[in-house]
Structure 1
Amino acid sequence: MDKRKSLRHRDNIRFKGNDITLAAKIVEKLSSTMDIVYYLMNRGDGHSFVLMLVSAKNIDMAALLEREKRDTDILFEIDKEESLYALICQDTRIDGGYYFAERLLQHMEIDGAEDIYCTDIEIRTTNHEIKFVILKLIEIYMKSKEDGRSNEIVFKSLN
């Protein structure tokens, strides 16, 4: 029996049930910490930051990320089975975030990782709601997986 498909399917990205469950998990894990980062930005103690979502198969992602991240970067294990992690890179601009992601991908490829997906968003202001920023990151990540953009850094900036 064929899977049921919507007759109104559009080309834009749709979250499946598992995607929504995963998105809720990510929002829950990141929201409180991002509240604090937003507070620091509003107070003038923080600057732009990069929010990263990264996954890869056949590699110890936790060990790699712990080794490569700075003391000011905040690492979140989202789904150990799927090897999905999030990072908040404080006081980081678009170029620094991109170079960090590039360095991570190089290490992953050298270590034999497969199905590498890396999505970054630079946040310059607190104009966007935290949930919007997180959901935008997830949407871009899922779109990159849907489009087969493995071993590529997908980087966006929010003003």
Structure 2
Amino acid sequence: MAVHKLILDDIFEQVDCTLIAIYCTIEDYRLAYLLNKHLSTNLTRRTSNLDFSFNNATYSIFEWEDAKQLTTWSLVSNIYKTEIYKKDNVNSLFNTEEKVTQTLYLVPEYKAVNYFLKIDNQFNLSKEKSILNKILKIQQVVTAFSIDINQLKSKDNLIFS
């Protein structure tokens, strides 16, 4: 009996979306407001955060579905900070616990990036540069740049649905 094997790596390998990394120090809701103002979008906070059970991290996410261009815009935080208590290993008379801030990243390859703007539609290069230039004109944004999502090791973390 012949064995038939389907290889689907080529189908799911390429992701059609635009990913823009944003470095700024303002809060997520303030950045969403400024992006709405400068890009004419309507990003709103999702009712639930983006949760990852394997490391108990939650990331804030803002979304907008543009019905006119059939695109979904997502602004997601890259950084999650939590305080954990760590026991000292020193043999002591007293049990002491030290409070440590643990930082987890949605995309660990880009630890300096605060937010990612993911647009689920492949724009041409001029449209992508236009969006990037509008983001760079926002005074509170330190820098922003495009990322090739197919080169990321942790691109599975950017699947929000």
Instruction: Please confirm whether the aligned pair reaches a TM-score higher than 0.5, indicating the same fold.
Output: no
Which one has more relative contact order, counting CA pairs under 8 Å at least 6 apart? 2
What's the TM-score, normalizing by structure 1? 0.25
What's the TM-score, normalizing by structure 2? 0.25
- Greater per-residue strand proportion: 2
- Greater per-residue helix proportion: 1
Larger Rg: 2
